[in-house]
Structure 1
Amino acid sequence: MTTTAPPAASRTTRTARRPTRHRHWLRTGWVMTTSGWSANQFSALLGAYHSDLGLTEATTTALFGVYVLGLIPGLFLGGPAADRRGRRPVVFAALALSALATVLLMAGSTATGLLWPGRFLTGIGAGALLSAGSAWIKELSSPPYDTRSTAGAAARRSGLFLSAGFATGGLVAALIAQWAPAPMITAYLPHLALSVTAALLASRTPETARTGGLGAARTPDAPAPGPAPGPAFRRLVAPVAPWVFVAPSIALATLPGLVDAELTGWQTVYAGLVTAVTPGAGLAVAPLARRLAARHRTATAVTGLAAVIVGLLLAAFAVARIRPDAALLAAAALGAGYGLCVAYGLTEVAALAPPDRLARLTARFWALCYLGFCTPYAITLLTGLFAPATVLLVVAVPAAATLALIAHRGARRGVRQGGRQGARPTA
């Protein structure tokens, strides 16, 4: 008995109906990891700069914050450039700039004046990577590149890769600084290797934005440009965005120095542990973010802000009692708040932005997020007038106000997945 092969047309039809799931986003994700790594590798070395190079606490905190001054133009230049020129060229340029910034930080071990441009350029490179990388992952998680991903998948993927960079960058830098020779040089070498790896992987990833007409980027099969999503962004995303990095910046730059007085010789390792626990908790809450978003997207933000408040209360207790163990719990709570808030923000941005404005709106979101990085410097100034624990308790007040505001606006809007707006794919 012989078998007859099905007609070629039938095979083609079945193949066309089969959902596609290319994993190009896996390669692009390392761009986000590189961005997080570049930001946090310096955080774990703050104590070493203070003790070994004699930099004052105000100087090290200012160096931590000057990153934001570079990040803002990086976001606002990188986002529109990625929409006009494409994701790939912006990512390559940002990776090169980020590597240059790391070289300047390495040279800063002998010429401390180079730390300032190093941190500034770190911010520019990280900002461009965030805006272009987030948009690239979103498009690679959507048709025609991926027709099987669920709503919100791109936001979770971006957040996971970014959190992985934050967690591992700080921890690796701290471990190297504790035991390796020339720690303020060798601690930065892994980032250079990661930058090269991310560039190689990105070179194998398809470009998702096509420039046409007057130079506006278009994704494959994208609709015509739509209206700017200003009001919804201002009402539901902008209030939450700063808390994305208020939480981890307090955990990374403020808490260790206030509770490590009895950890003589182990301060750097403890700081590295905090830099791993904080974003690590952000990684751990990804399944919770997915379940919350499936019920009500605003619930992700409400839960995230609640975690931030719990973290601030624990931080105040840890500082008042000088309890490093309690500070680790606070860092975990703050990190969970970070993870939930960033997942909420990226999901909302992906739902609101027309394809031709995706990178720009993503840049606006990250710019507002990174305003939170100024918080440690403000806390340092206020602790000259008030007890640190009191200042941390005061920070919890606007967090609670934001929670109440978003809960109220979310209830009024009534956004539920599968509803009128929730039916639109968000990632």
Structure 2
Amino acid sequence: MGEWSVARRLLLGGAATALMAPRVARTQGAGQSGPIRIGEINSYSSQPAFLQPYRNAWTLAVEQVNAAGGIHGRPLETLHRDDAGKPEDAVRLAGELVNAERVALLAGGFLSNVGLALADFANQNKRLFVASEPLTDAIVWGRGNAYTFRLRASTYMQCAMLVEEAAKLPVKRWATVAPNYEYGQSAVRWFKELLTRAKPDVSFVAEQFPALGRIDAGATVQALAAANPEAIFNVTFAADLTNFVRQGATRGLFERRRVVSLLTGEPEYLDPLQDEAPEGWIVTGYPWEQINTPEHSAFREAYRRRFNDYPRLGSVVGYDTVMAIAAMLKKTRAVETEPMVAAMKGLQFPSVFGPVEFRALDHQSTMGAYVGRTVLRNGRGTMADWRYADGKNYLPPDDVVRTLRPQG
């Protein structure tokens, strides 16, 4: 199914939910006996490759929680909304969910700028926000607040994982390419700082910051090649990544150069490239078909049975967001903001990737990521020589975090 078809279906689904929600609210109200309502906001129409699998797994998790008796006898109910990748739309929808639909908490977020807007809304309105995907460090550090918690391994954490491998490479001259918004800028900043700390003799000879979703791949590749780097740090994703890889291969940019790339090992970004997927890149990603831990095997099989498809990284994020919220709600019978926030601090739950904790210090979870290199197998890209990098090992010391995060 094409991206536009997926987006249309999601939009229609969101519209149906919006039409049904007022009737549900009138009949069930916001008491302690009806469903526990979660307001989930995401960039469904602008990032369908990640968020369709995310939405699928969210549905699966809610079904599993409710089939097991719900939360203290109350089922979970989700009101999904599409922010179209626009922070202003996300904030407007958050207001509607909180004020008109009386949701107990907010969740979701994909793009970092949207996630920051939702975090600011949560802080101003004193509402719990469980951020699923936004990778920006600011959401838990520079602009962190008492009401926002983040599941996914952050930009800093994943850069630290990649720097561990990049520092082993026999290269000194680096170039970077990243989308020109908070996530891309933050990734480049941390990669440069951490790599320079690990290997002081490196230099950065070029930077390219194309507009998100509008990369001029030919011009970007030409500018990088002109600087003659020995290695490239890439942060582009989705359609930008596809265009960058194709233009880079056509123009010989990757010949005899090492590439370290954030997120590129995730199947939602490798799959569209098919047999054009790059080989030998050092990446963070998700080798879904190769992970055979009990937790992951059970999740993978349940997802396959429910959707007749294989999971993507978005599937893991969607599923674990629900399971984290469910674990939090089981800790407290008071479905009100302050007791829920207290329950989130230090919350431990068994994620698809293994045990995860939301640190009380900065509200960042210790969810990790897989690090390996890209290879072609059976006409498609996947990962080889991978390892699981536990997120708790890739965070700065507590005293450093305290300098990065405001009080409260």
In the superposition, the TM-score normalised over structure 1's length comes to 0.29
Name whichever structure is richer in helix by fraction: 1
